[in-house]
Structure 1
Amino acid sequence: MEQPIRKKGILIANLGTPDKPEKKEVRAFLKRFLGDSRVIDTPRWLWLPLLHGIILNTRPKKSALLYKEIWREAGSPLLIYTKAQAELLQNLVPNQVVRFAMSYSHPDIPSVLAEMEAEGVTDLTVIPLYPQYSTTTTASIYDSIAKYYLNSQKIPTLHFVSDYSDNPLYIQLVASQIKEALKEHEIDQLLFSYHGIPVSYVEKGDDYPIKCQQTTKAVMQLVGDIPYIETYQSKFGPSEWLTPATDATLKALPSKGIKRVMVITPGFVSDCLETIEEIESENYGYFMENGGIEFHYIHPFNEDPRFAELVKTLAVEQQSNEIEKESL
């Protein structure tokens, strides 16, 4: 008996961005983002009054000003680059349906899944654009996928890439970025900055810092023997977060004789507020104000076609694994 022909699809998913760099749109985005219990793992009875009573009435105005600084004519850098990555991937797999979606903004995951369902996709590979797994990011995307299909009559064959922190192609790509930059700049130290998470999440079982360490170690094995340090950025709220902190580290390095640094953010595959404003502007300022001489930032993959090749490989490997299982 002939097997039915499967129509394959690939969904790449990122965190999201406000629709506009305005207070109203930023508030709507933060409401969805900070309202996710995966992101803020605090009892709802305690967190939601604080979120709606204070944070959503104060933070949107400040955040909107920051978004305006990085906004481009075509929109948010994160949206621009995620869309470009989907287009590059589509060109590499013309026989598959490729789409992108956001966890907390448009196009949202349920809407895009509905579109792919309408196009007849029966074999779906989901690739979160977070190389290092965390409950705060990757697991949230998994939740959205599971929720969408919870009461569905038809569910496609699903493949989910949960982590590629030590994938050889990913490691080679990050290492090549560093090597290319080192050809042009002499530095005292290389700094890996990853997005931080609260320590309490790690204590509950999130192995995110282990994933970050795996990436750093594997990359440095290819880069070679140069001084480096691993830090965490983007702390939010009063709780204890992973350390050392990127900002505190950059403020202190010049006093230790480290005045020429190169910074890379391997956890981000596209430029966004946390890379352009926080690293390239804010933390650059901290370093230079405290005696730094040179600050070089290596941007994420953005529109690099090599990243699309990596995503294609991840998808094809997942799809091939399923075929192998069925043949056993």
Structure 2
Amino acid sequence: MTDLSGQTDATREGVVLVALGSPVAPTEEAIGDFLSEFLSDPRVVDLPRALWLPILNGPVLRRRPARVLGQYEGIWTEEGSPLRVHTRAQGEALARLLPGRDVRVAYQYGSPNVADVFLDLARSCDVVTVLPAYPHFAPATVGSIADRVRECAGLAAAEGHRPRIRAARSWPSLAGYVDWHAGRILEEVSREGVDLVVFSWHGVPLRKAHGAARYRAECHATASAVMERVEAQGCTVAWEETFQSKFGPGRWLAPATIDTMAALPGRGVRSVLVTNPGFLADCLETVYEMDVLNAGVFRQAGGVSFRRIAPPDAESAARFLAQVRGALTPASGRPAR
């Protein structure tokens, strides 16, 4: 197997793959614990703490776990939540590509937590490389991870541990990533033609703290690069971009995927191919929100064929991440800001 480590044996490097996380079980208690940690992050919900926390700890956590329990039960596998199953497999595949490196999987919310894993690596490694499982930068994802790394780097320094830190920020035009998605679209279109390809990205609020302009531009850069590859192979198909998973009040990036799906049949679109390149692993937002909710709305409105391209297999995702790691600049000793 090709060694993509790019390090000498004298350097002890820890590599941490960081994904969002998910409940540890499809129960109201586990869902509540996950939502409490997730929605308490000021990078995720930037409302004033005095306003938001009573709402979160009151009506939100009293009602939402029961409301979404059936959704989690519907996507759960024998091995656990799809996100954890796939992320664990990606970590194992990445370790095979980086022999001699201490490769770990961690989560922003839940266990093993990125703070604990980073501190453990900082105590034993000369270099710690942080690879967020997000191709596009958003303050609530990559920014939140950087916050944790910065805080934990300070704790490690107080103990006398000062590893050099490398952290990826985004990789919207990574060649292997773009090529993989272009290849999957070509496969699906050649197997059965479609009227429209829809890139559905996770939405973010339009408030300044969420960096919507940069995030949207990076998503569009990916979609444009993918479709350029598709068209270069002689395949011409209409495409557009939408945003999903709106939560809470206020304006978010638009158009909303769910609204678009309801409107497409009226525009003459009977067959749609959906792709979610912002997700490196299946999760509630893909398996339930896409395959159940959005597919149902599309068919109810008169659509005939709804197909979704699943996220990359573990080996492909690991290769993207190894390429991202290989492209990082020399360790700076500071986490990315």
TM-score (norm: length of structure 2): 0.91
1:258 has 2:265 as partner: no
Partner in structure 2 of residue 301 of structure 1: 312
Partner in structure 2 of residue 49 of structure 1: 54
1:233 has 2:238 as partner: no
Percent identity over the alignment is: 35
1:114 has 2:119 as partner: yes
Moved over 4 A (4+): 202-206
2:79 is aligned, of 67, 74, 77, to 74
Is the CA contact (8 Å cut-off) linking 1:192 and 1:231 kept in structure 2?
Answer: yes
Per the TM alignment, residue 114 of structure 1 is displaced from its structure 2 partner at its CA by 3.3
Is the CA contact (8 Å cut-off) linking 1:271 and 1:302 kept in structure 2?
Answer: no
* Structure 1 residue identity aligned to 2:263: A
Per the TM alignment, residue 323 of structure 1 is displaced from its structure 2 partner at its CA by 7.4
Per the TM alignment, residue 265 of structure 1 is displaced from its structure 2 partner at its CA by 0.4
Is the CA contact (8 Å cut-off) linking 2:119 and 2:153 kept in structure 1?
Answer: no
How far does the alpha carbon of each residue in 1:272-310 deviate from its partner, in whole angstroms, 9 at most, with x for none?
Answer: 00000000111000000110011111001142x122111
C-alpha separation in 2, matches of 1:36 and 1:217: 32
Is the CA contact (8 Å cut-off) linking 2:204 and 2:212 kept in structure 1?
Answer: no
How far does the alpha carbon of each residue in 1:41-100 deviate from its partner, in whole angstroms, 9 at most, with x for none?
Answer: 111111111111110111011122211110011100000000000000111111111101
Partner in structure 2 of residue 33 of structure 1: 38
Per the TM alignment, residue 206 of structure 1 is displaced from its structure 2 partner at its CA by 5.5
SS at match of 1:158: strand
Is the CA contact (8 Å cut-off) linking 2:205 and 2:212 kept in structure 1?
Answer: no
Is the CA contact (8 Å cut-off) linking 1:199 and 1:242 kept in structure 2?
Answer: yes
* Structure 1 residue identity aligned to 2:330: E
Partner in structure 2 of residue 207 of structure 1: 214
Per the TM alignment, residue 203 of structure 1 is displaced from its structure 2 partner at its CA by 7.8
Per the TM alignment, residue 4 of structure 1 is displaced from its structure 2 partner at its CA by 10
* Structure 1 residue identity aligned to 2:42: S
Is the CA contact (8 Å cut-off) linking 1:193 and 1:264 kept in structure 2?
Answer: yes
TM-score (norm: length of structure 1): 0.93
How far does the alpha carbon of each residue in 1:2-47 deviate from its partner, in whole angstroms, 9 at most, with x for none?
Answer: x993201211101000011100110010000000000011111111
Structure 2 spans left out of the alignment, 5+ residues: 1-7, 333-337
How far does the alpha carbon of each residue in 1:136-185 deviate from its partner, in whole angstroms, 9 at most, with x for none?
Answer: 11101111111111232212111111000112221112111211212212
Per the TM alignment, residue 205 of structure 1 is displaced from its structure 2 partner at its CA by 6.8
1:134 has 2:138 as partner: yes
Partner in structure 1 of residue 225 of structure 2: 218
C-alpha separation in 2, matches of 1:317 and 1:74: 33
* Structure 2 residue identity aligned to 1:181: E
Is the CA contact (8 Å cut-off) linking 2:95 and 2:101 kept in structure 1?
Answer: yes
Is the CA contact (8 Å cut-off) linking 2:139 and 2:209 kept in structure 1?
Answer: no
Partner in structure 2 of residue 171 of structure 1: 178
C-alpha separation in 1, matches of 2:250 and 2:178: 32
* Structure 2 residue identity aligned to 1:264: T
1:147 has 2:151 as partner: yes
Pairwise CA RMSD? 1.9
C-alpha separation in 2, matches of 1:170 and 1:294: 26
1:159 has 2:155 as partner: no
C-alpha separation in 1, matches of 2:213 and 2:162: 28
SS at match of 1:263: strand
Structure 1 spans left out of the alignment, 5+ residues: none
SS at match of 1:191: strand
2:288 is aligned, of 277, 281, 304, to 277
C-alpha separation in 2, matches of 1:205 and 1:17: 24
C-alpha separation in 2, matches of 1:308 and 1:22: 30
C-alpha separation in 1, matches of 2:9 and 2:326: 19
Partner in structure 1 of residue 330 of structure 2: 322
Is the CA contact (8 Å cut-off) linking 1:82 and 1:302 kept in structure 2?
Answer: no
C-alpha separation in 2, matches of 1:130 and 1:117: 22
* Structure 2 residue identity aligned to 1:215: T
